[in-house]
Amino acid sequence: MEAITYEKLEASAKHISPHILETWQPPQAVKMLLEHEPKADKGFVLFAGIEKEYGKPSDEMQFVGEHKAFNLSWLRKHYNKVGNYLHYSHRSKSNNQESIDSIKKYLHGVCDEVEEVLKGDILGGWLDQVFEHTCEKCQQIIVVGKHTLAKTSHIICQNPNCKAEYFAQPEDEGRKVRFTLKVTRFDCAKCKAEIPIENRRLDIGLEFQCPACATKHRIENRQWIYSAEIETNKS
């Protein structure tokens, strides 16, 4: 289960944070893939052909291969259960022949599913349109799937030591995405130079220094400015 899932992840390694490849277990890894693409835990059959006219499916499609995948709910159910059998437990001492037979039967069922998934000839793979942005804070690549962007414009750097926050805005009819680091700009109290501070750091008591003249500042309070709503449909 691990080998198959990681093969799937590695096929998309450049779209995935290295932290995930190093530390995640299959159910979490597949869950993460599902955030990119809702069909990431489903198999697919791939056909390809040359388009005679751009954008119109070819009338001579050739079979390329088939990918079979573990379903997330199946992985969740069996990954830990199989893992538990690898460890010695007090309970295993008292196992009678009947329960050993039922474990054998269970494990054969799991093996059948693993064999079925291995029958696919495209081993790693999932399909999604992704956008990349180099994080301005940690210089790692942030990868966001089109599917995620349809749900939210709030994107967090996938590096767990960074987690910088961005506002992501599709542009050019969805062909590009503009990532804007969520910052608030303050003017230096002495030299008026602009000092950008990440919104997630903003709090009363935060101290920051002007990069131009080194004057130290401290946030003393916060203020929301509001006004009466303009009534537009007055009769």
Residue 168 backbone phi and psi in degrees, to 5? -110, 130
Q: Indicate whether 189 belongs to the interface with Zn ion (CB under 5 A).
A: no
Q: Indicate whether 168 belongs to the interface with Zn ion (CB under 5 A).
A: no
Indicate if the alpha-carbon torsion angle 198, 199, 201, 206 is positive or negative.
positive
The number of residues that bind Zn ion (CB under 5 A) is 15
Distance (Å, whole) CA 149 – CA 83: 35
Is the CB of 5 or the CB of 148 nearer to Zn ion?
A: 148
Q: Shortest distance, CB of residue 156 to Zn ion, whole angstroms?
A: 9
Residue 16 is encoded by which pair of tokens?
């995935």
**How many CB atoms neighbour CB 131 within 10 A?**
21
Considering only 51-59, 74-82, 119-127, 129-137, which stretch makes contact with Zn ion by CB under 5 A? 129-137
Q: Shortest distance, CB of residue 135 to Zn ion, whole angstroms?
A: 3
Residue 229 is encoded by which pair of tokens?
């709503």
Q: Indicate whether 156 belongs to the interface with Zn ion (CB under 5 A).
A: no
Q: Indicate whether 210 belongs to the interface with Zn ion (CB under 5 A).
A: yes
Q: Shortest distance, CB of residue 151 to Zn ion, whole angstroms?
A: 21
29-56: burial string, b at 16+ Cβ within 10 Å, e else: bbebbbebbeebbebeeeeeeeeeeeee
Q: Indicate whether 141 belongs to the interface with Zn ion (CB under 5 A).
A: no
Considering only 16-24, 29-37, 72-80, 186-194, which stretch makes contact with Zn ion by CB under 5 A? 186-194
Distance (Å, whole) CA 163 – CA 165: 6
Distance (Å, whole) CA 150 – CA 203: 30
Considering only 45-53, 91-99, 132-140, 165-173, which stretch makes contact with Zn ion by CB under 5 A? 132-140
Q: Indicate whether 157 belongs to the interface with Zn ion (CB under 5 A).
A: yes
Q: Which residues bind Zn ion (CB under 5 A)?
A: 135, 137-138, 157, 159, 162, 164, 188, 190-191, 193, 210, 212-213, 215
